[in-house]
A and B are shown apart, each in its own frame.
Chain A
């Protein structure tokens, strides 16, 4: 069995027939659509990055705010302990 299928064409395709498939307007439209999609994707990715950064910033701030009173409380406990022990 052959590796490829070989066919014989009795006639060449005419340039008029090939011209029926020629459509640069379609190529341009597809290209513009691709460029638009690329641009939207890029904007979306930037938006996601910015949102993630803001969320991280808010999380860190919140974590810092929640962490501060606890640290103060534990310091207070450490200071009170020796007084109770002396009595």
Chain B
């Protein structure tokens, strides 16, 4: 995200502090992304719609308190959404769901030498099932939402080194399990 875009968002936020209608611009801009992010962790359309609305409502309520912490405004929305999802699962005492798009997996597979087929998908699903929730959250934000380490650290409220450690550990397991040669950040 460029500096000009960040500044533009700031001017919108400033206006939103005085007039909540101005927040609508940010709502329109980020609604789809937050919806997809929540949907991936619920796989329930109505629940996703509720949690997404709740996310934007909380953001609008607390827009006065928003402070720049070196990450784009969207990271704050992701953080609120993530908290709302966790709150929902705590309340319902259900197993957390991760619903991933086949299309995105295909895109990621294309970056490796591995051929895409049903067997690979099946193995990948089993691999993901074994991963702890913290690792899955990091992988989701890194590979499905294209967030950088700093943003992920802010969203999940952990340190940047913690995010890196979780990512590399998850990828190491993936390499061993699949015997893949994954190129990641220039490392193989």
The residue on B at minimum CB distance from A17 is: B45
CB atoms of B57 and A31 under 8 A apart: yes
CA distance A18 to B98 in the complex (A): 18
Q: How many A-B pairs with Cβ below 8 Å?
A: 93
CB atoms of A27 and B27 under 8 A apart: yes
- Categorize the interface residue count of chain A: 20 to 34
- Categorize the interface residue count of chain B: 35 or more
Determine chain B's interface SS by DSSP, over half rule.
Answer: helix
Stretch binding the partner chain, chosen from B67-75, B122-130, B145-153: B122-130
CB atoms of B20 and A12 under 8 A apart: no
CB atoms of A6 and B39 under 8 A apart: no
Determine chain A's interface SS by DSSP, over half rule.
Answer: mixed
Our pick among B39, B53, B96, B104 for the contact of A4 (Cβ within 8 Å) is B96
CB atoms of A5 and B101 under 8 A apart: no
Chain B 132-169 interface mask (CB, 8 Å, partner A; 1/0): 11001000000000000000000000000000000000
CB atoms of B125 and A24 under 8 A apart: no
Which residues, 6 to 35 on A, are CB-close (under 8 Å) to B?
6-13, 15, 18, 21-24, 26-28, 30-32, 34
Chain B residues proximal to chain A, CB less than 8 Å:
20-21, 24, 27-28, 31-32, 35-36, 39, 43, 45, 48-49, 52-53, 56-57, 60-61, 95-105, 121, 125, 128-133, 136
Our pick among B36, B97, B99, B101 for the contact of A18 (Cβ within 8 Å) is B36
CB atoms of A3 and B56 under 8 A apart: no
Asked if A69 CB lies within 8 Å of chain B CBs, one says no
CB atoms of B98 and A7 under 8 A apart: yes
CB atoms of A7 and B99 under 8 A apart: yes
Which residues, 57 to 86 on A, are CB-close (under 8 Å) to B?
none
Min C-beta distance of A36 to chain B, whole Å: 13
CA distance A71 to B7 in the complex (A): 73
The residue on B at minimum CB distance from A28 is: B20
- Decide: A3 near B133, CB < 8 A? Known: A13-B36, A18-B35: yes
CB atoms of A21 and B100 under 8 A apart: no
